[in-house]
Structure 1
Amino acid sequence: MRYKEALKDLMSLTDFGIISNNNTAKKRRYDLNRIIKFSSLFGNPENSSPNVHIAGTKGKGSTAVFISSILETEGYKTGLFTSPHIHKLTERIQIGGKEISKTKFSKSFYEMWPDVQQYNEQNPNNRITLFEFLTILAFYIFDKENTDINVIEVGLGGKLDSTNILTPHISIITSISLDHTRILGNTLQEVALQKSGIIKPNKMTVIAPQKPEVLKIIKEVCEEKNNQYIAIQESCEITPIKKSKDFQTYILDSEFGKNSLTIPLLGDYQIENSATAFIAAKLLQKSNFPISDLSIENGFKETYWPCRLEKVSNEPLIILDGAHNPYSIEKMI
């Protein structure tokens, strides 16, 4: 196994997530041409299976895991790509609810690595970055594993994110607030336009609850691109029923009927995230992905997503959460 060696080689690539807050970021070329060209070396694996594509400021990962759990419960072989990781890099790439092994990661890594080196040697001023490589690596692995469907979380923004080379079956926009303003813009409207960049013509979009000015922009983009869309705050009614330290239950009243749903993730925002996932599952159901209500209910109950208002001790009560901007901290509290 060459996992440690693979990590060392991976870290030799530019990590845009680190440099994005300094002057080096201003010198980078912001477009998708580089990763489109790079992906073509591997046969464009990003479209080997249908994709659910998720952008937003908060709730992307939770929504992705809710959807992935539903699909897996129904029996679909599901690829899941999220970021960042908590303990191990392999957490970012999951199949069937389990992170890929270090052996599988290393094998695929070194099948691709010679092409990475050659590409960067030939393009010294426009090299493939760490996240770009990880994105194509995930698609490459999903392609090799013949996944039925993939759930893909945007890394940063949307319009120019590495994941945005895919063609989505469904796009999802989760809660939007100000974050990464040096890159995405200083206003909610600018950020909303960047996030809405994942919306593609003639597809379907689910919009999580948003501030009015944000919702207006997302809906305009959907209409411009002839998207069928469902905005949770306009089309659904959510009624909390029961909350405890271990789960919460609510009623979701939508065009698909009234459903009693129980989730193990805590916080009002997780109700919104799961409601968004529910609507996405229903749209999948209408488009050649049969999913039973029982699979949705059980998929929700089986969802696990660490460090999201996660209780790790009762005595004393200790809760872990990854809130990292003012809006998310306010929501958590």
Structure 2
Amino acid sequence: MANYSIKDIAQLSGVSPATVSRVINDNGRFSEATRQKVLAVIQETGYQTNYSAKSLRMHKSFSIGVLVPDISNHFFASLVQQIEAILFDQGYSTIICNTARSSTKEQAYLQMLASKGIDGLVIISGPQAFDIEQAALPTTIPYVCIDREPKQRADTVFIAANHYQGAFDATEALLQRGCQRPIMALHAQLSSSGTERLHGFQDALKKNNRTFDAQTQLLQLTDTDRLPKLKAYLAKFPATDGIFAVNDALAVELLSALTQLGQKVPAEIQLIGFDDDPLDQHTTPTLSSVKQDLTQLAQVTVDNLLKAINHQATYGKSISIPVTLALRESTK
């Protein structure tokens, strides 16, 4: 394959080398027609940018680190996939780090990312506030947080779906459909998004003149004891007729457990989750859920990170992404 230079691409495209450079770096003014013409020539010739030289010249690695707690979770996986696709279109490669909710693993990944000279960092979810200083990362690395409170709010942008409103609406949906004693099922450890969902659940009860009792209306479940704990809970509180699960992964497991226990959904217990996993449409009955706008969440994240990298960001702000209800057969 012949080695083409930017001058060659410019000549074949009928534009100046400066224009070719602007198209490659997606920086500066040029028409869409010009962009398409240059990109077509690049594809035809197999031209490849010398990223090593480009990195040295611009003091950039053109790589972004993404820290995610559980890549097997559909919501996280889909969000990361969309973020990666947008970043790729902007000329950045993505290093995806699955922490498995381990603080030790998270710290090791952060050190690795710092050694690679990443240009920016995306932090997704987690039970504790993200502390850039404790992470021992250079404070010059721009970062944004999704669904995870940053300890140094003035140094970043915090982006999250409206978890509070989603939980509030989900709880009201149960009440409006006749539930007299709805409960919330959640994990032992809550992220900042989980805490917001809990607050939404509590306030929906309050608005509808229902008392909230953490001892009797919160069902905390670990990974190992879900079926026996649910069985014991329902034996103790047989009037339970609605469950708002903190996420769909837990809701799907509860749906299976309720079936095993002979509980009819939604006739005896109504169920609603959070995240609108595609699996929700294939359960029996299909699962009601709160839908997050993944596309908007990913785009807003990348937009703010790139602004931070280019020293154009407005730090210290929080961005809330709206949610909607997707009601299906598990609610009446």
TM-score computed with the length of structure 2 as normaliser: 0.28
- Larger gyration radius, structure 1 or structure 2: 2
Structure with larger RCO (C-alpha < 8 A, sep 6+)? 1
